[in-house]
């Protein structure tokens, strides 16, 4: 399998705080990779670095072999990297369908001023196509019935799924999901599980941050574990499960709670 995403020695500082510290990891094409670790470990920051929201202080990012470190977030979408956010970031004043339709922005052939100005223009031809493909995506995620609803009126679970439908718009080869199961109830988590598998079955690689361990162990082929911005373990779920260091990170042995670096001395 080819490596679709690779980060090398990625570091991100915010003033004096090192949020991501010399992280190197890779996602293989066609795999579902989990990014786990305790709260504040730097997982979302790492995702933001990959999707382009932050620029790294150090290190490089490669996508399909190309160095994309210098590319802006908007450009990365064009390179077929889709993402969702920890809290669903929808376009509040638009309908569900419009949100999903905008997901295809980078693939829409629009003229200089967004689709031309005349009645028979590019945009109107696009409009039909956009509508069809957007509805298709909504069907994929199971939300086709609420396409005309204002997205403010959707439930939290629906919003999360909608965001995924939108992220699918750029026909991503890699999908970055930030805590897809957070805030969902048990049956919704099941639905999310099925959805991610469905997406994966289309050949899309997934990198997901999650706290729900059952979901993680079920879905992920490989895991990277972060703590304090550093990689503390990599491997398959079976390898990671018994790892003492990982357990400590989650259960909080040592002086983790006061914000200072925990020293490695073991008591």
Partner 1 sequence: MALRKLIHAPRWSFIFVALVALFPIWANSYDRFLIVFATNILIYIMLGLGLQAIFGSAGMVELCHAAFFGIGAYSSALIGIKWRLPFPLTAVAGILTAGLSGLIMVPIIRLREVYYAMSTFAFGAIVVVLMKELPFTGGVNGLGGIPKASIAGIRLEDPLVFFYIVLILVIAVYGLFSKLSTNLFGMSLNAVRQNEPAAESVGIYPNRLRSLVTILGAGSAGLAGSLVAHIQGFINPDMFTVDKSLFILGIVVVGGLRYIRGPWPGALVMMFISEYTRELKEYIQLVYGLILALSMIFFPKGLWGLVTLLWKQKAIRHYLENSETWKPYSKSKT
- Residue 28 tokens read as 């293989």
Burial (CB < 10 A; 0-12, 13-18, 19+), residue 259, is exposed
Nearest C-alpha neighbor of 224 from the set 2, 5, 74: 5
Beta carbon nearer to partner 1, 148 or 258: 148
Cβ 117 to partner 1 shortest distance, Å? 5
Comparing CB distances to partner 1, the nearer of 20 and 167 is 167
Taking the least distance from each CB to partner 1, the nearer of 97 and 246 is: 97
Bridge-based pairing state of the strands 58-63 and 222-227:
unpaired
Q: Residue 103 and residue 171: Cα distance in Å, rounded?
A: 9
* Minimum distance, C-beta of residue 68 to partner 1, in the bound complex (Å): 14
How far apart are alpha carbons 219 and 215 in whole angstroms? Answer: 6
Q: Rounded to whole angstroms, how far apart are CA atoms 157 and 154?
A: 8
CB of 187 to partner 1, least distance (A): 27
Nearest approach, Cβ of residue 204 and partner 1 (Å): 16
Residue closer to partner 1, measured from CB, 62 or 105: 105
Q: Which is nearer to partner 1, 36 or 176 (CB)?
A: 176
Residue (122 or 234) nearer to partner 1, CB: 122
- CA–CA gap between residue 96 and residue 100 (Å, rounded): 6
CB 100 → partner 1: shortest distance, Å? Answer: 10
- Token digits for 188? 């919704």
In the complex, the residues that contact partner 1 under the rule CB under 8 A are: 51-53, 72-75, 77-78, 82-83, 85, 89-95, 98, 101-108, 110, 113-117, 121, 123, 126, 148-150, 166-167, 169-170
> What span, in angstroms and rounded, lies between the C-alpha atoms of 116 and 251?
58
We find the least distance from the C-beta atom of residue 6 to partner 1, in angstroms, to be 21
Total count of residues recorded for the chain: 267
């Amino acid at each position: 399998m080819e490596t679709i995403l690779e980060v090398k020695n990625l570091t991100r500082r915010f003033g004096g705080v090192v949020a991501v510290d010399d992280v190197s990891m890779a996602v293989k094409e066609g795999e579902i990779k989990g990014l786990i670790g305790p709260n504040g470990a730097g997982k979302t920051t790492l995702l933001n670095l990959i999707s382009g929201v932050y620029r790294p202080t150090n290190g490089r990012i490669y996508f399909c072999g190309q160095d994309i470190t210098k590319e802006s977030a908007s450009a990365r979408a064009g390179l077929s990297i889709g993402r969702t956010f920890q809290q669903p970031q929808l376009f509040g004043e638009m309908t569900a369908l419009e949100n999903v339709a905008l997901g295809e922005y980078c693939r829409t052939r629009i003229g200089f001023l967004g689709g031309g100005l005349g009645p028979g223009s590019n945009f109107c031809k696009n409009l039909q196509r956009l509508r069809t493909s957007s509805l298709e995506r909504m069907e994929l995620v199971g939300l086709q019935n609420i396409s005309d609803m204002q997205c403010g009126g959707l439930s939290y679970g629906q919003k999360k799924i909608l965001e995924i439908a939108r992220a699918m718009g750029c026909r991503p080869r890699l999908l970055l999901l930030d805590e897809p199961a957070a805030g969902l109830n048990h049956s919704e988590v099941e639905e999310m599980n099925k959805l991610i598998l469905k997406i994966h079955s289309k050949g899309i690689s997934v990198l997901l941050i999650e706290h729900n361990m059952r979901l993680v162990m079920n879905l992920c082929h490989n895991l990277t574990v972060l703590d304090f911005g550093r990689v503390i373990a990599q491997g398959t779920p079976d390898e990671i499960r018994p790892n003492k260091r990982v357990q400590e990170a989650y259960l909080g042995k040592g002086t983790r709670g006061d914000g200072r670096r925990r020293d490695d001395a073991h008591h």
